[in-house]
Structure 1
């Protein structure tokens, strides 16, 4: 059923003017001028097709039509306030749904989420194995996603600090190139994480994001062949503006980006 358009500003002014029985005091409450209150009331009367106030020798009086609507109007405002509190409570929850490539989650994200959660035992995570490209944030109920690319795409975003790309292998490995991002290669795998694992198995050498290889290099599974090289592409934390503004998302972005 089609909903009737509600003149909410006018109804809010009506509530204030009815409580004070004064356009001047209603204007003070609403931080507007008495003329603006009078204009809103006249517009509301035109919309509703009824007279709401009459001026008498004793001052401003409500008409029976206005009085008839005040109780359900105020009940409605209380329900609006309940709805706003419920929505704010949902946004202030400490549950975060994050979409990220599988290899990034395994080799980089999980330890950082564990450290973040250690600072607050109420934090909860839902992790999805997906890139941000093509994701419907509303349908997936996502708070944040991580994508590989040269920018945040259509969303708000911040780059994750990185040293760029590094080539990794094990001692004695052949010069076979292990590829994952569409570049020319002898062996092709699905993602950078598998490329690191293939290099650790001795299949060849792989050029991957340094931040993904960091733990494997530190553990001695692979060695870096030379210094990391800058790259135009990198990992980005992204979200639509409403999610990006959430305090819980801002806190997580601050931890992950640096």
Structure 2
């Protein structure tokens, strides 16, 4: 008598019994209940029953049972990679329990301009304080939020089978579900330019003098909540006679700052990222007219990794190093 078809039901929210998943993964890999039984040390009929139990639980057929072989159905082929990945993650988690010490490697993702202009000049302090941590830094504009998005923990971690620890520095609104979030600093945008623009035939002395200067537009942050534009600054300061839309535009904030240093014009820059340049005389703030950013920099780490020694050490150092930006 043919077996009744499986009822097509909505996939259950709970995880099926692990024994049935293990039997499915082994049978799918070997395409044989007999070979799967030899691997997991039960009878072939027990493997078949476990798979049948799983199919009934899910409400779909995972195999086509031919006279002398098994063939995965479309549902089985779709399910297999994730089930296999899950067991590999279990194995990695168990192996991690037997490590005598942490890996000593901290992989950090961060926005490019933050990394080059704020983090890099300070990293020697972390290296000196924690020589046991090998820091791997990668930069990406993906570490900048877009349109107040929420970023799940899965978006800030590497493959859980990798041994390296992963944490990120993000510039955004601070909504990162499933992650431990530490606010580093926020800061305001200020107009900056080369000291040379304060001299010459039309020196820059007051906001109205911007009509004679080139306005540099930083478009490295897509969301205007996190990056005020010249049009907003001009309106906030009540400046008349300045065309806030003219001037060159850069998709990289670092290029906009370099343009200001080289005398190209006046840029709106996040104060913590140009503080050192102003202190060194490479840039000046021609007039005190800051405008706050709606974004801040955050250290974002999956909760599952947040207490790793490497991350604890980096978090402590980073928050101490950033204290000056909140003074």
Same-fold call, TM cutoff 0.5: yes
1:125 — aligned with what? Answer: 135
Aligned-residue offset at 1:207? 1.1
Paired with 1:250 and 1:163, the residues of 2 have a C-alpha distance of 24
Residue 192 of structure 2 corresponds to residue 160 of structure 1: no
Paired with 1:125 and 1:226, the residues of 2 have a C-alpha distance of 39
Residue 265 of structure 2 corresponds to residue 204 of structure 1: yes
Paired with 1:157 and 1:114, the residues of 2 have a C-alpha distance of 24
Aligned-residue offset at 1:176? 1.9
Displaced runs of 4+ in structure 1, greater than 6 A? 79-82
> What's the RMSD between the two structures over aligned residues?
3.1
Paired with 2:248 and 2:121, the residues of 1 have a C-alpha distance of 29
Do the aligned partners of residues 85 and 202 (structure 1) sit closer, same or farther apart at CA in structure 2, a change above 3 Å counting? same
What is the 5 A alignment of 1:115-154?
115-130=125-140, 131-132=142-143, 135=155, 137-139=157-159, 143-154=166-177
Paired with 2:291 and 2:305, the residues of 1 have a C-alpha distance of 33
Which region of structure 1 is more displaced relative to structure 2, 236-245 or 98-107?
236-245
1:223 — aligned with what? Answer: 284
Tell me the TM-score normalised to structure 1 length: 0.61
Paired with 1:252 and 1:188, the residues of 2 have a C-alpha distance of 35
Residue 213 of structure 2 corresponds to residue 175 of structure 1: yes
Which region of structure 1 is more displaced relative to structure 2, 165-174 or 110-119?
165-174
The count of aligned residue pairs is 183
Provide Cα deviations, 1:174-215, integer angstroms capped at 9, x if missing partner: 532212235365211122221110101111111111111012
Provide Cα deviations, 1:70-106, integer angstroms capped at 9, x if missing partner: xxxxxxxxx99983533573xx232110111111111
Q: Which runs of 5+ in 2 are unaligned?
A: 1-16, 21-90, 146-150, 198-211, 223-228, 231-244
Aligned-residue offset at 1:255? 1.9
Q: Which runs of 5+ in 1 are unaligned?
A: 6-78
1:255 — aligned with what? Answer: 317
Do the aligned partners of residues 84 and 197 (structure 1) sit closer, same or farther apart at CA in structure 2, a change above 3 Å counting? closer
Do the aligned partners of residues 80 and 101 (structure 1) sit closer, same or farther apart at CA in structure 2, a change above 3 Å counting? closer
Bigger CA radius of gyration: 1
SS of residue paired to 2:185: coil
